[in-house]
Chain A
């Protein structure tokens, strides 16, 4: 069995982790630092991908980003290719899957930082932004890194959502999970074994790393 789907998964997961990392940490910061109407609703929406079936989520993404949606049409007009059933679609699908894990982890990590530290930074002349990047975020870094690791592992192994939004195009959207599914479907269990073991190892390593990071943060 070719390892191309695995390398493709890796590329997609790195991109998705970057996107989910930036968006997720920003959302977590908003949810922790501000009280506003609809905060709980936003929290629920962001967490929804954890509990809503991938097919349902995929349906929404197809409707929102498909060639008949204004987002899809605008994207195609600018970049010359659609979002859905392309690598871009696979990255978006993996990002959406990773987002709740990043937001949940980053939210808990940011929430655990003593607010008087931020207040002190402000009285020492730091703007809200500087205090955030020099005090708040560095003190939450262990928890945020753990959240990113979980997000990476989640996006690396995504199946349902990617299949719905990006399909199964070899070399373009056929990720490791989909290749394993195809191999098993064709009764080629031996072919799938290598990638199964590597994905299992990465998942376990991510969880082990998260436990280490969280323990280290608690100790400081």
Chain B
């Protein structure tokens, strides 16, 4: 069992506005302990931006991201670990399944080794999420629930050290969301890693997660926004 490590994020990101959405600043300072933490807030609160910073998809100035003693981003010293070396499992709200690959190929994408071995391991992962029957199907032919499970299997397949889920159940009906939510909860308990779930459903957050962090207008909406220790 890997030693459980806390994810620490201090970031200040200027989001450029578009014609429809005005620009805003995301400024946060938070720690995510192993277990399931919900990041709740209205659209445009900056929740997805936080995930982008943790995954290494954004490289904001004046920021620092660490996992335990490992520094992923430190703008002061110029340290930046690229996304492919962070070991972060990320599931976008759109799921972002590769449309030109089958479900099994999607799951095997991040694996190393021989093609046949990778496929066998991918099928085992799909079995774990109860979608092995869809292994050879294209993402476009999967139902919403199946696609969701394939995306989760793909994110978990690389044995991530941090898991980030952006609105993972938004497109599912309540029963499906509840079933999958319970699966995810069990999985995170088993892996013992920090996991952050972005959601706008407060009741879902309360039911599934050990902790809830609320964001609004690019900031943490807690009484002590400068440093929120979520343990």
Contact = CB atoms under 8 A, between A and B. Distances in A.
A120 B84 contact: no
Contacts of A119: 52, 55, 57, 83, 90, 92, 96
A135 B100 CA distance: 8
Interface in A95-139: 114, 116-117, 119-128, 134-135, 138-139
B110 A125 contact: yes
A2 interface: no
Given A119-B57, A220-B140, A124 B96 contact: no
B83 A117 contact: no
Contacts of B140: 220
What 10 A-B pairs come out closest when comparing CB atoms? A124-B110, A122-B83, A120-B96, A116-B96, A123-B90, A125-B110, A116-B92, A125-B84, A119-B57, A123-B83
Interface string B19-40: 0000000000000000000000
A126 B84 contact: yes
A135 B57 contact: no
A114 B109 CA distance: 18
A189 to B, nearest CB: 49
A91 B218 CA distance: 55
- Counting chain A residues whose Cβ lies within 8 A of the other chain, the interface size class is 10 to 19
B68 interface: no
Nearest to B85: A125
A149 to B, nearest CB: 20
Contacts of B96: 114, 116-117, 119-120
The main secondary structure of chain B at its interface with chain A is loop
Nearest to B157: A124
Contacts of B110: 124-126
Interface string B43-55: 0000000001001
Interface centre among A114, A116, A124, A135 (most CB of B within 10 A): A124
Nearest to B90: A123
Interface of A: 114, 116-117, 119-128, 134-135, 138-139, 220
B219 interface: no
B89 A123 contact: yes
B88 interface: yes
B98 to A, nearest CB: 6
Contact of A139 (B57, B94, B99): B99
Contacts of B185: none
Contacts of B201: none
Contacts of A121: 98, 109
Given A119-B55, A139-B98, 5 more contacts: A119-B52, A120-B90, A121-B109, A125-B158, A139-B99
15 contacts: A114-B94, A119-B55, A119-B96, A120-B90, A123-B83, A123-B84, A124-B84, A124-B109, A124-B110, A125-B110, A126-B110, A127-B82, A138-B100, A220-B99, A220-B140
Contacts of B119: none
B64 interface: no
B149 interface: no
A132 to B, nearest CB: 13
Nearest to A123: B90
